[in-house]
Structure 1
Amino acid sequence: MTETSSTDDARASVPDPVLPEGIGIRASGADDVPAMFALLSAEQLASAGESSLSQDEVADWFETPRGRERNDVRILERDGATVAVWQLFRNFDDKYWAQVAVDRGLPSGLVDELWRAGLDWTERLTLAIAAGLGVTAPRLDLWVNEHDALTRKHAEASGFQQMRAFIEMQIDLAGYAAPAPTAGVTVRQAEIPDADSPDLEIMYRLITESFRDHYDFQLRTFDDWRESRSSDALLDRSHWYVAEIDGEPVGGLIGDNSYLEADDAGYIANLGVLRQGRGRGVAKALLHTSFARYAADGRAAVKLHVDAESPTGATHLYEAVGMYRRLVGFDFHKRLGSGD
């Protein structure tokens, strides 16, 4: 049995829940993207005060083979209007990510009922898909913003545990001027005209090796990493950089378009420096190169997220280059199928 057929069988084995009268549920598709985007954006604004979502990002769930194979999405409707979106994403065979968004303008009792049903559906589907892939105790993750009492309430009631805090940091680019180049460090734009470009493998190695000692690291094969990047609707390889010392790559930075549509901001998705490059100004050189390029592009700001307990002290690094703290979000986990 192929992986695709096993996940399809698992999906078919998990029925949709019975919902309150007047609420319909169905699998979503590409035609639902505008309505889902509107609801998910409103949910992000309500839970975080800002939204990083783009309509292309939602469409990516249905337009790429990877998106279709790894995402399961349900749309809930009442009187023809979209009132909730449930999403389950398979990140790895043993790690899944859940998202529940419910129209917060509904009666509070109904909001809570759709939240509980949504989390129950993601848990049952996670267990079924994981079992088909030979995994008996998968992990389900949920993101909770610091002031989002609704999501926290349901996460804790369902047995999720808060694991780690991540800080959103930002630098405003109005009046930004890059400092003098760091002595001994050369930063260049990665050259990746196609999937076989040497710089693509160099960037994979730099980011992978830099994060081996970081929280929740899980190794991806180069092929899986390359596929994940190439199918990302937010991809922007013009903002990928390699830092070198004496001609040897020691650091890499990956930017994407996460906040372009919502905030006219650049976004640093990954920044990694190998051990032999740490303490030599490599990370600052990469950051200032990125800031300068985003400023030249006319962006208003640059954002990133950092582990609040980063072993490399990254939070202080970002403050040292002029970034400030905006928001805090929390990674919640629940281990399924282990008797909990």
Structure 2
Amino acid sequence: MPSDAPRHILPDANSTGLQWRPATSHDLGNWAELIARTAAVEHPVWYEKRGDLVHVLESTKNDPRANTLLGFDSDGVARAYGRISKNPEGDKALAMGCVDPQWQRRGIGSAVLAWQEAQTRFRFRDDAAAGRITAPPRLRVRTEEQHGHQAQLLTSKGYGIVRWFNEMHRPLSVPAPDTGLQPGLELRTFDPSLHEPVRLAHNDAFRDHWGSEPRDEESWRFTIEEPTARPDWSAVVVEAATGEVAGYQLASFDPDAAADRGFKEGYTELLGVRREFRGRGIAQALLADAMRRFSAGGMDVASLDVDSANPTGALALYLRMGYEAVNRSMTWEKTLEP
């Protein structure tokens, strides 16, 4: 292995029956097929597509040589996947992954999780040595309430639930509420000239949100270039006199999810209002505008995901706007031994 290659403690091939290595661009099709094959059985609300995996391999903060893992059977078919991501100054790492349904209950999920924990320790040790952080290593995993097998694994490995989230739907057969903006505020469709101002506004709006960390140019580019992103259904409220961004709503549409779930949903990926502009009806206006855009685009429902303990009162706002909770997910966390 080259001297500059990242450290890797790979799962054992003999006990798992799989050959392990980091993901490369040559694996994109195989990798995406594994995730889609797993999703076809487990029916998650969302799963990574090929375009998302391209972004994973392009990351400069999370070198894919150290932060991705694929397990292949004897025919070269990808059967398991794991990765972690971490901001250099962040106080936690995030884990994602899956195991082919035909290969589950063989200890492979445990092996992937053990690898994720080991790589998290490496990342924290390196960031601490560089003087970027002093926090102990922590790993977080997001799962859906319907996936009991994942909850069973995480519980057995010492993880605990630290936050609940609600997926909420609002039928578009009911007209959007008649909301408007106060004088001096303007609504614009999201376009490239607003990409950087909205990034800065997002970092400001979310600095009091649990688990949120500032998004740099790279992570923001991945956000707005996400394969399902719909900038034409996204909007920004600006203060006319200054041009400052007051709030924004970024939307997406996933045709694969529509085919799987049997309905089409316009999804609000991000909704934020900067502190000094809160209490002026901006969030309501953005949501109502999104509903009208979704409806014109042929969607059946407007949907979003909300932290059940959001400090801005977002859950109450969504309920007033006609959204109802339909699914729950949770974030698990474990503080790792150094």
**TM-score, with normalisation over the residues of structure 1?**
0.81
Tell me how large the CA RMSD over aligned residues is: 3.1
Pairwise CA distance, 1:311: 1.4
Q: Tell me, yes or no, if the aligned pair for 1:53 and 1:262 is still in contact at 8 Å.
A: no
Q: Tell me, yes or no, if the aligned pair for 2:85 and 2:93 is still in contact at 8 Å.
A: yes
The unaligned stretches of length 5 or more in structure 1 are none
Aligned to 1:282: 282
Cα deviation, 1:266-318, whole Å, max 9, x if unaligned, reads 22121112334333321110001112112222233332110001112211211
Pairwise CA distance, 1:44: 4.0
Aligned to 2:160: 161
Aligned to 1:103: 100
Aligned to 1:178: 176
| Structure 1 residue 132 corresponds to structure 2 residue 131 | no
CA distance in 2, matches of 1:146, 1:21: 27
Aligned to 1:152: 151
| Structure 1 residue 117 corresponds to structure 2 residue 111 | yes
Q: Tell me, yes or no, if the aligned pair for 1:45 and 1:51 is still in contact at 8 Å.
A: no
Q: Which structure's residues are more often strand, by fraction? A: 1
The unaligned stretches of length 5 or more in structure 2 are 259-263
SS of the residue corresponding to residue 105 of structure 1 reads helix
Q: Select which of 209, 214, 232 maps to 1:214.
A: 209
CA distance in 2, matches of 1:244, 1:15: 49
CA distance in 2, matches of 1:259, 1:52: 10
Pairwise CA distance, 1:169: 1.1
Identity of aligned residues (%): 22
CA distance in 1, matches of 2:208, 2:142: 22
Q: Select which of 17, 26, 31 maps to 2:12.
A: 17
Q: Tell me, yes or no, if the aligned pair for 1:54 and 1:262 is still in contact at 8 Å.
A: no
Pairwise CA distance, 1:132: 2.2
More deviation in 126-135 or 326-335?
A: 126-135
CA distance in 2, matches of 1:270, 1:26: 34
Aligned to 2:331: 331
Q: Tell me, yes or no, if the aligned pair for 1:253 and 1:268 is still in contact at 8 Å.
A: no
Cα distance change of structure 1 residues 29 and 250 upon mapping to structure 2, 3 Å threshold: closer
Q: Select which of 226, 229, 254 maps to 1:259.
A: 254
**TM-score, with normalisation over the residues of structure 2?**
0.81
CA distance in 2, matches of 1:332, 1:17: 25
Cα distance change of structure 1 residues 275 and 320 upon mapping to structure 2, 3 Å threshold: same
1:268-307 alignment runs, 5 A limit: 268-307=268-307
Q: Tell me, yes or no, if the aligned pair for 1:30 and 1:59 is still in contact at 8 Å.
A: yes
More deviation in 52-61 or 266-275?
A: 52-61
More deviation in 257-266 or 135-144?
A: 257-266
What amino acid sits opposite 2:126 in the alignment? G
Pairwise CA distance, 1:30: 2.6
Q: Tell me, yes or no, if the aligned pair for 1:171 and 1:302 is still in contact at 8 Å.
A: yes
Q: Tell me, yes or no, if the aligned pair for 1:250 and 1:277 is still in contact at 8 Å.
A: no
Q: Tell me, yes or no, if the aligned pair for 1:184 and 1:246 is still in contact at 8 Å.
A: no
Pairwise CA distance, 1:114: 0.6
Cα distance change of structure 1 residues 244 and 27 upon mapping to structure 2, 3 Å threshold: closer
The alignment covers a number of residue pairs equal to: 322
Q: Select which of 76, 80, 83 maps to 1:87.
A: 83
Cα deviation, 1:220-260, whole Å, max 9, x if unaligned, reads 45x45545545644444334322246646563224243634
Pairwise CA distance, 1:107: 6.1
Cα deviation, 1:191-230, whole Å, max 9, x if unaligned, reads 543xxx4x33432343222222221233345x45545545
Q: Select which of 214, 234, 238 maps to 1:240.
A: 234
Q: Select which of 19, 25, 32 maps to 2:27.
A: 32
What amino acid sits opposite 1:34 in the alignment? G
Aligned to 2:261: none
